[in-house]
Amino acid sequence: MTTLLFRRDPYLQEAPAVVLQHSPEGGIVLDQSLFFPTGGGQPGDSGWLIWEGGRVVIATTTRNADGVIVLVPGSASALPPSGAAVVQRLDWERRYRHMRMHTALHLLSAAVSRPVTGGQIGAAKSRLDFDIPDPVPERGNLEERLNLLIGSDLRVTESMIAEEDLAAQPQLVRQISAPLPQGHGRLRLVGIGEGAGQIDLQACSGTHVARIGEIGRIQVAEIARKGRNSHRISITLDS
């Protein structure tokens, strides 16, 4: 099984690895992965693998049907052979934007405080779909509240919860976060703020920034009706 380096330290940009195998689809499986696989609305990581005598662009990263993390090459160039020692390097600029956006969506779900029915994270624009009857939040007001929250620079925390304990607290599960068991039937809880000052807590397997101030100013780009009780709220980063 691949060790999840992105889980241990989401700020790690470069690390060594050994190629375990090539997948039948032509992807690469490593003993430890910096590359986050597509999931919970967050796109898979891209970057490069470098080894003695070679280099390949990684276009994206997925999980196959068995849950194995597969790095998908961006071209048909030669791949590092099984057993090869490689250096894996992330497209950090893109990943860091995903981390900022992902954490901003936690804030958005806390600020709107309605059931989330879907969502998508992108480096340029991200969105959540909410089950919201009228009236919907006013765009400028919501944007101001979100930026006030970001200004508080609360810490993002992680803890573990047993699957059966999570099942007893369904409010901690939101569709966007698509929590995955982390082994031994435990899942990860991601909180924003601590103790009485905690403003959000949900099961999530994505990558987040350490403090919400790192998100920087955001804009609520659009609040669009998607159905009778469904609204889509899109956000962009100021920089």
For Zn ion, the binding residues (CB under 5 A) are 204, 206
For residue 192, what are the β-bridge partners?
Answer: 156, 200
We find the least distance from the C-beta atom of residue 88 to Zn ion, in angstroms, to be 23
- Residue placing its CB nearer to Zn ion in the complex, 72 or 204: 204
**Strand blocks (E) in the chain:** 3-4, 14-22, 28-30, 32-33, 47-51, 54-63, 69-73, 85-90, 116-120, 126-131, 156-162, 186-192, 200-203, 218-225, 230-237
SS3 73: strand
Q: How far is the CB of 202 from Zn ion (least distance, A)?
A: 7
Instruction: Name the closest residue to Zn ion (Cβ).
Output: 204
Give the three-state DSSP class for 16.
strand
Shortest separation between residue 156's beta carbon and Zn ion, angstroms: 9
Pick 10 or 80: Cβ nearer Zn ion: 10
For 66, residues 6+ apart whose C-beta sits below 8 A from its C-beta are none
> Least distance to Zn ion from the beta carbon of 204, Å?
3
Closest distance between Zn ion and the C-beta of residue 188, in Å? 9
Closer residue to Zn ion, CB minimum distance, 204 or 233: 204
Nearest residue (CB) to Zn ion, 43 versus 80: 43
Strands 156-162 and 186-192: antiparallel
Say if strands 32-33 and 3-4 run parallel, antiparallel, or are unpaired.
parallel
* CA 67/CA 37 separation, integer angstroms: 10
For the bound state, the minimum distance from the C-beta of residue 130 to Zn ion, rounded and expressed in Å, comes to 16
CA–CA distance, 215 with 106 (Å, rounded to integer): 11
Residue number with CB closer to Zn ion (90 or 204): 204
C-beta of 35 vs 36, nearer to Zn ion: 36
H/E stretch holding 98 reads helix 92-112
